[in-house]
Amino acid sequence: MRLISKLVFVLSLITSCGVHAHAVVTHNSLALKPVPVNQASQVELSFNSKVELDLSEIHLVSAGDKMQVIEAVPGDKPGKVLLNLPALMPGEYAIKLKVFAADGHLSEDLLRFFVKQPQ
């Protein structure tokens, strides 16, 4: 049994149990309020859990996967976060989130969006 116990121990060290995200964005303002062209704006996010903003990192991703850190501030309710976006040219963008949820999961999420000239 000693061989088995040692094996169990070693194997328990090399098995994994998933690394999916827990904190996910349940609502965002991007669909209802498109990001304006060449004008600083604010995006509102609602998470499914409490998040620790001091331990989170949020990037704006533009063409060529260029990353730019954007400022995030707490909203008026727990789980709500406001992002301050700089003035953006028309094109495809994404908001890349690395968020520390209050239950201890460091979660990643991605929101893709377009900035379009008004028709």
Partner 1 sequence: MEGIADYLDSLIGGIDLTFYSIAIGGLLWGWLILKPWEDETRFNNALLEKTVALIQFGSKALIFTQLSKIGLKIWLMSVTLGKSPFPAFFHTVQFNAGIARAASAAVLFYYVKTALSKHLRSEQRWLTANAILLPLVVSAAWLVHGASRLEDRGLLMSITVIHQIAAAAWVGGIFQLLAIWRLKKRNLVGVELWPVVLKRFSVLGVGAVVVLLLTGTPLAWYYIRTFQGFIGAGYGNLLMVKIMMMGLALGFAWLNRQAVVEFFESRSLYTLTAKVPYYIEAETLVLLTILFTAASLASQPPSMDIPSLTATWQEVLGMFEPRLPRYTSPSHEALLAGEPGRVAIVGQVPSEAATAWSDYNHNISGIFLTTMSFFAMLSYSARFHRWARFWPVGFMLLGVFLFFRSDAETWPLGPIGFWDSTFNNGEVLQHRIATFLVFGLGWMEIKARIAKEPGMLPFVFPLLAAFGGMMLLAHSHVGFEPKTAFLIQVGHTLMGVFSLILACGRWLELKLDAPGKNIAGFISVFALFQIGIVLMFYREPLY
Q: In the complex with partner 1, which residue's Cβ is closer, 33 or 112?
A: 112
SS3 of residue 89 by DSSP: coil
Asked if residue 81 lies in contact with residue 74, where contact means CB atoms within 8 angstroms, the answer is yes
CA distance 39 to 52: 28
Binding footprint of partner 1 on the chain (CB under 8 A): 1, 3-4, 7-8, 11-24, 26, 48-50, 52, 54-57, 61-65, 77-79, 92-94, 96, 98, 100-110, 112
Q: In angstroms, give the least distance from the CB of 96 to partner 1.
A: 7
Tokens of 96: 């890349």
Give the residue from 33, 41, 35, 42 showing the smallest Cα distance to 80: 42
Least CB distance to partner 1 at residue 42 (A): 21
Rounded to a whole number of angstroms, the minimum distance from the CB of residue 26 to partner 1 is 5
